[in-house]
Structure 1
Amino acid sequence: MELETVRHCSGCGVTLQTAQSDQSGYVPEKALERTPIICQRCFRIKNYNEAMSVALDHDEFLRLLGRIGQEDALVIHIVDLFDFDGSIISGLQRFVGTNPVLLVVNKIDLLPKAINWNRIKNWVQRQAKEHGIQIVDVVLVSAKRNLGFERLVDEVGQRRGKRDVYVVGATNVGKSTLVNRLINDYSDMERELTTSRYPGTTLDMVNIPLDDGKHIVDTPGIVYKSRLTELVSREDLGALLPDKPLKPAVYQLNAGQTLFFGALARFDFVEGERQSFTCYMSNGIKIHRTKLERADELYADHAGEMLAPPTKARLADIPAWTKHQLRVPRGQEMDVFVSGLGWITCNSTSGALIEIHAPKGVKVLLRHALI
């Protein structure tokens, strides 16, 4: 049931609603009898020292970001290492102005143990620059394993000064875990949630008071429809999102061979010498190899069954595939990246012509190899 009269959260000011628990302003109907009324997110911050993620559409999120540039703030941008190019906010700089940006990269626990972390950090810095973001530093963390947060807290302490701290990021990148950690380290939660708001700021931000009178400002997560994780059903999301370190799957392919990743995407090796391709994705995604000349027929006959996820019943909810043609330069290690699915590293010395079939709107690109 929707509220009969428009009411606002006394903690953050957002318009209250009782229909969608994953959206901003949600309040259970039984909580409407309380005075004052606060949204579920503010309730959890106040009573459990715990924030929760809510989502905001793209246009509203950009409008919200534009307000940050008017403040003197430290901006923490959290991204998902597994879906780096799908979760980073391209052009963030033009919204936050001259405010310093600290880039926090989550899910480092998914990478193999024998990894050169300096190389990963250098790769992140280069990718951020290509996305037009000027960063003061990179902090690698794992919310699941509680790794790297001590350094993050130190970085915030050194760089914050007397500024507020704004935390921004896409949905499902670990933003709530980061905010919760900052709350525990910096905020005295015996104080009430602030009811004062910055002039012109949207009411979907939550201001969490700090001991020095400043705030951690928790912003809603932005929903990027260009991520496959935003398109699949909740039932298939578990297969798509890895929860253990990635186990690379290496395929030696000749030109004219195809890899299917369930019924979610297809990789065609069109031209090039025989070479290896290394797939980094969730163990829940079944990879099927076939000849390119048989690929269309195989998909028509087995999508949603042998080629799954998704199942045939849920396949109709996924947008039709569109084709992306990518040319891997000679002598370079490159990743073919499919947002939300993972990436395929091309270990090529002679170059290759690749075609990727993925649901319409999903981000597909060629980038320098992460690993």
Structure 2
Amino acid sequence: MMSERCQGCGALLQHDRPREAGYTPKAGSALCQRCFRLTHYDDLQFSMREGIDPDRILAQIHAMDALILWVVDLFDFEASLLEGMNRHLFGKDVIVVGTKRDLLPETVGSEKLAKFVYGRLKELGIQVKGLVVTGKNIPGGPEEVLRAIEWAKGKDVVVMGMANAGKSTLLNALMDKPQLTSSRYPGTTLDFNPLDIHGVTVYDTPGLTPRNSMLLHLEEEDLKTVLPAKAVKPVGFQLRGDQSFAVGGLCRIDLLSCEHVSAVFYCSNLLELHRGRADKADELWQRHYGELLRPIPDGMPYAEWTSTVLTPLGVKEDVVIPGVGWMSLSGTCGQIRVTHPQTLEIKHRKAMI
């Protein structure tokens, strides 16, 4: 076993176990074979998206005397909020870095977005020192993050966040020469990885595994369909009566007793939406699950799904499918019934947009 770490993912380099983290066949290599294949061929040799204990990572971060840059995916915001996060962050200097702003429609104003983020954090009892919003081709983001790092005033900086939130991509943008492995696959960074950025020691950390995300239950090849690569185009419907929507084969949403209701979906535009009458939805799902209705969660037959009944909030609201996106609802609706895999918790909130 060698003592060097892979500069791409932070794993200890080793020669003996090809199917484990840190393996490299070449002595003196800066990258493990997994990072090399990901970087050059987008080839995920093996997945680590469920191999990292988030409680261990958070406990290690909590023990450090450091400024915390908490990276949250603005598009998949609810999945960034692990239960008990306020306990792990209590008493810490925390700056939130909201990534993937480019996936949201340009019509979303920065002030409204900031109000939404601060409002959700307040509801969870989490206090932060500031918010930086960034994303592809979003001006000023990296410069603001650098200023936040300088604000550490001699402390180390720890960059934490959920798997696939964009931590490594963000850090690569701050370095003169990008060196971290970044990919669309959750679980790319495997250990604490110290970097020197403008004279400050900055630790990239393994992505926290979301306990409540559809991404945990998808085949790797289906991530291309579900994870948007560019700004989503909202898809809207005007509804009356009892209506049902299939979000691919991932989730069913029934809207009952609609009166002049507007439903707008914010999810990958490669993911097909199917609208129909609620009284015909059972037949549709039983006949076409896995065929017309796809992709589907792996190993979760539709017959074993559960339903969550939501009482409308009386204001413009979102029904969130963690890992997939959300439906924004306005107008008068008697009941919202969501049918979904048992391991998934549907989120209900005041509208982001």
Structure 2-normalised TM-score?
A: 0.82
Indicate if the aligned counterparts of 1:58 and 1:224 stay in contact, CA closer than 8 A. no
Look up the equivalent residue of 2:280 and give its one-letter code. Answer: R
Look up the equivalent residue of 1:26 and give its one-letter code. Answer: G
Q: How far apart, in 2, do the equivalents of 1:43 and 1:343 lie?
A: 32
Look up the equivalent residue of 1:325 and give its one-letter code. Answer: V
Query: Is the counterpart of residue 163 in structure 1 residue 155 in structure 2?
Result: yes
Offset at 1:326?
0.6
Q: How far apart, in 1, do the equivalents of 2:33 and 2:166 lie?
A: 16
Aligned to 2:253: 267
Q: How far apart, in 1, do the equivalents of 2:167 and 2:69 lie?
A: 10
Indicate if the aligned counterparts of 1:79 and 1:105 stay in contact, CA closer than 8 A. yes
Query: Is the counterpart of residue 360 in structure 1 residue 342 in structure 2?
Result: yes
Query: Is the counterpart of residue 328 in structure 1 residue 316 in structure 2?
Result: no
Indicate if the aligned counterparts of 1:92 and 1:132 stay in contact, CA closer than 8 A. no
- Number of matched pairs: 328
- Tell me the secondary structure at the aligned position of residue 317 of structure 2: strand
Indicate if the aligned counterparts of 2:317 and 2:330 stay in contact, CA closer than 8 A. yes
Q: How far apart, in 2, do the equivalents of 1:339 and 1:94 lie?
A: 22
Offset at 1:145?
5.6
Offset at 1:260?
0.8
Q: How far apart, in 1, do the equivalents of 2:299 and 2:54 lie?
A: 29
Aligned to 2:329: 346
Aligned to 1:254: 240
Note the aligned Cα RMSD (angstroms). Answer: 3.0
Offset at 1:147?
5.8
Larger Rg: 1
Question: Paired residue for 2:106, among 110, 113, 119?
Answer: 113
Indicate if the aligned counterparts of 2:13 and 2:23 stay in contact, CA closer than 8 A. no
Q: How far apart, in 2, do the equivalents of 1:13 and 1:327 lie?
A: 46
Aligned to 1:176: 168
Relative to structure 1, is the Cα distance of residues 116 and 211 closer, same or farther in structure 2, using a 3 angstrom cutoff? closer
Relative to structure 1, is the Cα distance of residues 216 and 42 closer, same or farther in structure 2, using a 3 angstrom cutoff? farther
Indicate if the aligned counterparts of 1:252 and 1:277 stay in contact, CA closer than 8 A. yes
Correspondence list, 1:162-241, <5 A:
162-184=154-176, 204-209=191-196, 212=199, 214-241=200-227
Correspondence list, 1:133-172, <5 A:
133-143=126-136, 148-157=141-150, 159-172=151-164
Offset at 1:83?
0.7
Look up the equivalent residue of 1:106 and give its one-letter code. Answer: T
Q: How far apart, in 1, do the equivalents of 2:352 and 2:33 lie?
A: 36
Offset at 1:10?
2.9
Relative to structure 1, is the Cα distance of residues 290 and 232 closer, same or farther in structure 2, using a 3 angstrom cutoff? same
Offset at 1:280?
0.9
CA shift digits 1:296-326 (9 cap, x unpaired): 111111122222224xxx7646674221111
Q: How far apart, in 2, do the equivalents of 1:70 and 1:308 lie?
A: 44
Indicate if the aligned counterparts of 1:57 and 1:222 stay in contact, CA closer than 8 A. no
Offset at 1:176?
0.7
Offset at 1:180?
1.9
Offset at 1:39?
6.2
Query: Is the counterpart of residue 292 in structure 1 residue 274 in structure 2?
Result: no
Aligned to 2:263: 277
**What are the ranges of 5 or more consecutive residues in structure 2 without an aligned counterpart?**
37-46, 180-189
Look up the equivalent residue of 2:130 and give its one-letter code. Answer: D
- Tell me the secondary structure at the aligned position of residue 176 of structure 2: helix
Offset at 1:66?
1.5
Indicate if the aligned counterparts of 2:253 and 2:337 stay in contact, CA closer than 8 A. yes
Q: How far apart, in 2, do the equivalents of 1:318 and 1:77 lie?
A: 36
Q: How far apart, in 2, do the equivalents of 1:79 and 1:341 lie?
A: 15
Question: Paired residue for 1:79, among 69, 72, 81?
Answer: 72
Offset at 1:143?
4.1
CA shift digits 1:187-218 (9 cap, x unpaired): 9x9xxxxxxxxxxxxx9312224564x52111
Indicate if the aligned counterparts of 1:304 and 1:315 stay in contact, CA closer than 8 A. no
Identity of aligned residues (%): 28
